[in-house]
Structure 1
Amino acid sequence: MSAPVDTVLFDIDDTLCAYRRSGADVLTAAFEATGVEPFFGIEDYYDRYSAFVDRTDTIHELRTACFAALADERGRDPDHGRAVAAAYADERDHRAVDALPGAREAVDRLGADHRLGVVTNGAPGMQAEKLAAIGLDDAFEVVVHAGYDAPAKPDPAPFHHALDALDTDPDSTVHVGNSLTSDVPGAQAAGLRAAWLADGSTPDPVPAYTLDSMTALHEPPWQTR
């Protein structure tokens, strides 16, 4: 029998909040602002993101290095990539996010009888702005920035980092996230139960709990089984 849940960890992006403008829209605007013909798509950036985490200190440095490398790989001037990265930074406002429906209420309700933390892939300054924008900057006892404080998810290390900070055990902890490539497998590798915010796809790996929305956490599924 599973241990009672006393700790809940959350992902941030597309779990607690979402950008008002998609990354694809911001990238298109950045190409237009610089007058550079588009030479890569947003998924190319996302796929390469983790490769630049260890060699840069800020999201701006990471994006600049990544875009320059993408340009070079495609036979383009790396300075064009750097220019697009600067325009992307000007277009992207990390405060321009909205809480997902039910997210703030879920955090408030769970905070009454659970210890709460965050395990998120993303730079500290960027992620802090998002939490502040949705009024949750003081809601968590620990925020682990995977890729900076520890290896990026799905590595189990950032989850262990959070558990150590909270002095709690994996078998009494649930991680809530939307990603089947980072949140669910990372949590499972660390021995946590995963609660997946569903997107309509067939989950693989299969999480312990599937949430239709964040409002499902107003009455946590682990308290009704």
Structure 2
Amino acid sequence: MSIKIDTVLFDLDGTLIDTNELIISSFLHTMETYFPGQYEREDVLPFLGPSLKDTFEKLNPEGYEDMIKTYRAYNLANHDLLVKSFEGVYETVRTLKENGFQLGIVTTKLSDVVQMGLKLTGLDEFFEVIVALDHVEKAKPDPEPLLKALDLLDSSPDRAIMVGDNHHDILGGKNAGTKTAAVAWSIKGRAHLEQYHPDYMLEKMADILPILGV
């Protein structure tokens, strides 16, 4: 008999809330500050997903901490101007909550900015657990943040699914032993995610409901 999934872990940026323009503009602002004239929009798309430390340390080993501060200052100042909801996410998450699913967020953002995004989009009422970058030693795709969220929810990998827009989410789920679902509205494109073989591909967030038997 198969075990029923009763726990859903979500990535935040690009999955639940549309932070794409905020993140891209934050990267462009930072790169223009430190590497003037060297980076265009398409050049920063690969930066979406990994932690800021992973991205900036490779580019500027001596000065990456200052780059992180520059990024975060711009990101916070422009957050509410550029962040918006994805269609159907609020309704789907509310339906999952109403049907008794345990819901958590696993993200590479810091927890204070996570709360800003959830409050802005009205999603803050639904999640029992948030595991942010400042709660763990290692970020996705390491299994640590997913396993921490499951532990806090008193759940287990065989009862959970990880939903995300980046290969770090899919690999994180696989490394932790959960089922995985990729979202086709990822800014990196559906084909990018398919090569990591998620268990499911969601065309819209409501597609997860029949998968979970709702």
Given the two structures, how large is their TM-score scaled by the length of structure 2? 0.78
2:54 matched to which residue of 1? 51
Change in 2 beyond 3 A, CA 1:27/1:161? closer
Question: Is the partner of 2:107 in helix, strand or coil?
Answer: strand
Q: Which has the higher helix share?
A: 2
1:208 matched to which residue of 2? 199
4+ runs deviating over 2 angstroms: 19-32, 34-52, 69-73, 81-96, 146-150
Question: Is the partner of 1:110 in helix, strand or coil?
Answer: helix
Question: Is the partner of 2:78 in helix, strand or coil?
Answer: coil
1:192 maps to a residue whose letter is: T
1:93 matched to which residue of 2? 78
2:161 matched to which residue of 1? 174
Kindly indicate whether residue 91 of structure 2 is the aligned counterpart of residue 105 of structure 1: yes
8 A contact 1:15–1:197 mirrored in 2 = yes
Offset of 1:174 from its aligned partner? Answer: 1.1
Unaligned 5+ segments in structure 1 are 53-65
Structure having the higher Rg: 1
1:157 maps to a residue whose letter is: E
8 A contact 1:184–1:195 mirrored in 2 = yes
Given the two structures, how large is their TM-score scaled by the length of structure 1? 0.74
Percent of residue pairs bearing the same amino acid type: 30
Offset of 1:142 from its aligned partner? Answer: 0.5
Unaligned 5+ segments in structure 2 are none
2:144 matched to which residue of 1? 157
Kindly indicate whether residue 102 of structure 2 is the aligned counterpart of residue 115 of structure 1: yes
Question: Is the partner of 2:18 in helix, strand or coil?
Answer: strand
Partners of 2:44 and 2:180 in 1: CA distance: 27
Partners of 2:142 and 2:68 in 1: CA distance: 30
Bigger Cα displacement from structure 2, 92-101 vs 152-161:
92-101
8 A contact 1:146–1:153 mirrored in 2 = no
Offset of 1:21 from its aligned partner? Answer: 2.5
1:200 maps to a residue whose letter is: R
1:220 matched to which residue of 2? 210
What pairs up with 1:121-200 in 2 under 5 angstroms? 121-146=108-133, 148-180=135-167, 182-198=168-184, 199-200=189-190
Change in 2 beyond 3 A, CA 1:31/1:7? closer
8 A contact 1:23–1:42 mirrored in 2 = no
1:42 matched to which residue of 2? 44
Bigger Cα displacement from structure 2, 198-207 vs 18-27:
18-27
